[in-house]
């Protein structure tokens, strides 16, 4: 009996030793912490990560380094939460062309790696996905991802032949619905797949395509809410934004761009708790800057993730001429300005806002565009601190994942960025990336 007992305790001790060895522990120390909660930055901070989650965070003077931990010295550096993009698109683009045939595991993972290298640690793929996305998402959620986390809207909703089905490579990608019965069937499919959000495109594309009828939007919103899934809408016009919000829409996936937002929209959004989920200012910028030689084409922070072929094509005179000959081309800079003004108006009025760039389609560059988006938000008049929170804590809140993501607090995943300069001084300092971690894994 005594021997058995001793053997039992030996086995137990060995098991504990093995368990503590297998727990991967990392300590980051010496940096200034910007934790995403809105608290002032903490200089001389430290953070303990165990198995991908934050186990402890605080002043380095109180740090107890766990035995066997890997210690990473970050003196003079700044640490912020990973960026959460609430409006991106995965898988369809290769080079400057979009085609659903491109939607392969290799392409999706290549894009997730690009996002990760730019500190974008979560992305919501908004309405252009195929079934493969659910498999990759399930694999991520079963363990600790080393690539950018996927959230998905599956397939979004538009009218028959509605926007964006006319965009090259988009036919057959969203649901084109013509009746409430079709809406109900599609929502049941999406709910079965446990999509993270549902997407509507409500746009006539400057008069080129028929908009989805409002009554079908009502059916989408009501059915989605029965399954406790939020709905975000691509909108362009103020009138559409207001009517959808009054129906219970949860988030605008773009800024209003046809005219200044008014008191009616502001009060509807505040009363209903609707968000400007994704201002997508970078998307507006992309509609005109490549008609010409733009300074970003020589920015190493951009070119490091873009092939020579793509750079050459962006500079091709034929492509530039094609962009500039769009009859609506002269309006595009004005749409950006309107989007920026409307973001500032909504923010000043106390409407909640998140973060999204609409990166992923051709010439809307994943990773790089999220940093451009932050710069354009600051240019719109938002403080760096508010831009940072939109891109981290607020985005997590809109997604309903604040328990796990968005701030650097005990218990949350260690999704974070190490910067060499302070992003609160200048939002463009988010580009001084030295390291990125996702679930405690260092991204290479």
Closest CA to 380 of 348, 337, 346: 337
> Does 129 interact with Zn ion (rule: CB under 5 A)?
no
- Compute the least distance from the CB of residue 358 to Zn ion, in Å: 4
Does residue 190 contact residue 175 with C-beta atoms inside 8 Å? Answer: no
**Rounded to 5°, angle at Cα 407 from 224 and 47:** 145
DSSP string, 202-242: ---TTTTSPPPPHHHHHHHHHHHHHTT--EEEE--SHHHHH
User: From the CB of 133, what's the least distance to Zn ion, in Å?
Assistant: 15
Q: Which is nearer to Zn ion, 363 or 408 (CB)?
A: 363
Could you give phi then psi for residue 242, rounded to 5 degrees? -65, -45
Give the binding-site size for Zn ion (rule: CB under 5 A). 1
Closest contact distance (angstroms) between CB of 127 and Zn ion is 7
Q: Among all residues, whose Cβ is closest to Zn ion?
A: 358
Provide the 10 A C-beta neighbour count for residue 170: 19
Task: Show the tokens assigned to 63.
Answer: 């740090």
Minimum CB separation from Zn ion for residue 284, in Å? 12
Nearer to Zn ion, 190 or 235 (CB): 235
- Among residues 68 and 172, whose Cβ is nearest to Zn ion? 172
Least CB distance from residue 196 to Zn ion, whole Å?
Answer: 15
x-marked contacts with Zn ion along 339-378 as a string, rule CB under 5 A: -------------------x--------------------
284 binds Zn ion (CB under 5 A): no
Decide whether 98 or 121 has the Cβ nearer to Zn ion.
98
How far lies 311's CA from each of 141, 169, 308, 361, in Å?
Answer: 35, 21, 5, 16
Q: Which is nearer to Zn ion, 89 or 243 (CB)?
A: 89
* Smallest gap from residue 355 Cβ to Zn ion (A): 14
User: By C-beta, is 233 or 433 nearer to Zn ion?
Assistant: 233
Check residue 348 and report its DSSP letter. H
CA–CA distance, 396 with 81 (Å, rounded to integer): 11
Name the minimum Å distance from CB 282 to Zn ion: 11
247 vs 253 by CB, closer to Zn ion: 253
Distant-in-sequence, close-in-space partners of 365: CB < 8 Å, separation ≥ 6 = 302, 305, 306, 359
- The interface with Zn ion within residues 133-152 (CB under 5 A) comprises none
Query: Which residues of the shown chain bind Zn ion in the complex (CB under 5 A)?
Result: 358
């Amino acid at each position: 009996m005594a021997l058995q007992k001793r053997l039992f305790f030996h086995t137990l001790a060995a098991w504990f030793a093995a368990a503590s060895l297998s727990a991967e522990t990392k300590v980051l120390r010496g940096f200034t912490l910007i934790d995403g909660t809105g608290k002032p930055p903490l200089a001389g901070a430290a953070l303990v990560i165990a198995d991908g989650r934050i186990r402890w965070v605080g002043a380095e003077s109180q740090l107890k380094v766990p035995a066997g931990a890997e210690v990473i010295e970050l003196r003079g550096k700044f640490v912020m939460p990973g960026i959460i993009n609430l409006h991106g698109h995965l898988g369809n683009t290769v080079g400057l062309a979009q085609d659903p045939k491109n939607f392969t595991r290799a392409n999706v993972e290549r894009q997730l790696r690009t996002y990760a290298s730019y500190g974008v640690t979560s992305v919501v793929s908004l309405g252009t996905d195929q079934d493969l996305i659910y498999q990759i998402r399930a694999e991520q959620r079963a363990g600790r991802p080393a690539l950018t986390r996927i959230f998905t809207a599956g397939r979004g909703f538009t009218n028959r032949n509605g926007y964006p089905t006319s965009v090259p490579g988009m036919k057959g990608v969203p649901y084109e619905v013509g009746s409430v019965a079709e809406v109900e069937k599609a929502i049941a499919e999406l709910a079965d797949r446990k999509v993270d959000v549902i997407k509507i495109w409500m746009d006539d594309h400057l008069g080129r395509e028929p908009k989805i009828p409002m009554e079908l939007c009502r059916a989408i919103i009501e059915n989605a809410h029965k399954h406790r899934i939020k709905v975000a809408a691509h909108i362009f016009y103020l009138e559409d934004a207001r009517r959808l919000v009054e129906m219970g829409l949860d988030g605008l996936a773009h800024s209003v761009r046809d005219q200044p937002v008014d008191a009616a929209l502001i009060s509807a959004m505040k009363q209903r708790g609707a968000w400007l989920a994704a201002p997508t200012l970078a998307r507006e910028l992309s509609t005109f800057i490549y008609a010409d030689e733009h300074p970003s084409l020589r920015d190493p922070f951009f070119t490091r993730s873009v092939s020579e072929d793509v750079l050459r094509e962006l500079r091709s005179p034929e492509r530039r001429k094609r962009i500039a000959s769009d009859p609506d081309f002269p309006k595009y800079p004005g749409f950006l300005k309107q989007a920026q003004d409307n973001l500032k108006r909504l923010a000043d009025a106390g409407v909640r806002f998140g973060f999204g760039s609409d990166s992923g389609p051709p010439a809307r560059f994943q990773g790089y565009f999220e940093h451009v988006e932050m710069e354009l938000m600051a240019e719109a008049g938002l403080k760096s601190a508010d831009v940072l929170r939109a891109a981290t804590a607020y985005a997590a809140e809109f997604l309903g994942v604040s328990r796990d993501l968005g701030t650097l607090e005990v218990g949350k995943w260690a999704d974070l960025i190490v910067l060499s300069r302070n992003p609160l001084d200048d939002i463009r300092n988010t580009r001084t990336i030295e390291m990125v971690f996702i679930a405690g894994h260092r991204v290479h």
